[in-house]
């Protein structure tokens, strides 16, 4: 297993510890949770870069990296809702978009269509990571960043469905088993 895949697995491994410290109340729990989230976020930024840089992209990485991203954001948002830092509607919109695009990717793969991450999707992920970090740090502008994140997240979902929605339409007219 290459270093990029190990970073992806580390991101997933850190999630229960993040949630534990985010939802536990003791003197340094919020700081520890924030540090864990930042470390997990950095693994997201570095795993793909390393894989491309040393030419070690793998099928495992192509599958697990987006899954680890979704798990990271979902875990963080659920924790922040529980902490009262994020309104449930915002978390539902963001998580719902993640599931919808993942579903679109799954359907596309059945038709041998690969939906790669696009620039707006990458920007969306970075803004989500910034928003969660700002919310964990209780920065005064965190709520504004969250609302911007919701808008960009929805927009990026529309971009994916606009570009690849034909996959769903094509499946509806074919004689396959689904």
* Residue appearing with tokens 């790669």: 116
Give me the CATH code for the 3-171 domain, please: 1.20.120.1760
Q: What are the pLDDT digits (tens) for 43-88?
A: 988 988 888 888 888 888 888 888 899 999 999 999 999 999 999 9
Domain coordinates in residue numbering, the chain: 3-171
Q: What is the pTM of this model?
A: 0.89
pLDDT digits (tens, 9 = 90+) for 28-45: 999 999 999 999 999 988
Kindly give the residue spans of alpha helices, DSSP state H, lying in the chain: 3-23, 29-53, 59-83, 88-110, 119-136, 142-164, 166-173
Of 18, 16, 60, the C-alpha closest to 39 is 18
């Amino acid at each position: 297993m290459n270093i990029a895949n190990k970073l992806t697995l580390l991101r997933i491994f850190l999630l229960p510890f993040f949630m534990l410290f985010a939802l536990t109340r003791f003197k340094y729990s919020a700081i520890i949770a924030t540090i864990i989230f930042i470390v997990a976020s950095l693994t997201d930024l570095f795993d793909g870069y390393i894989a491309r840089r040393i030419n070690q992209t793998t099928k495992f990485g192509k599958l697990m990296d987006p899954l680890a991203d979704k798990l990271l954001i979902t875990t963080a948002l659920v924790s922040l809702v529980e902490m009262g830092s994020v309104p449930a509607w915002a978390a539902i919109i963001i998580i719902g978009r993640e599931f919808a695009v993942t579903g679109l990717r799954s359907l596309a793969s059945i038709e041998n269509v690969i939906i790669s991450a696009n620039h707006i999707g990458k920007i969306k992920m970075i803004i989500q990571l910034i928003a969660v970090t700002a919310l964990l740090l209780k920065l005064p502008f965190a709520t504004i960043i969250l609302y911007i994140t919701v808008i960009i997240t929805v927009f990026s979902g529309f971009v994916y469905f606009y570009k690849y929605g034909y996959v769903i339409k094509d499946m509806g007219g074919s004689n396959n088993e689904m």
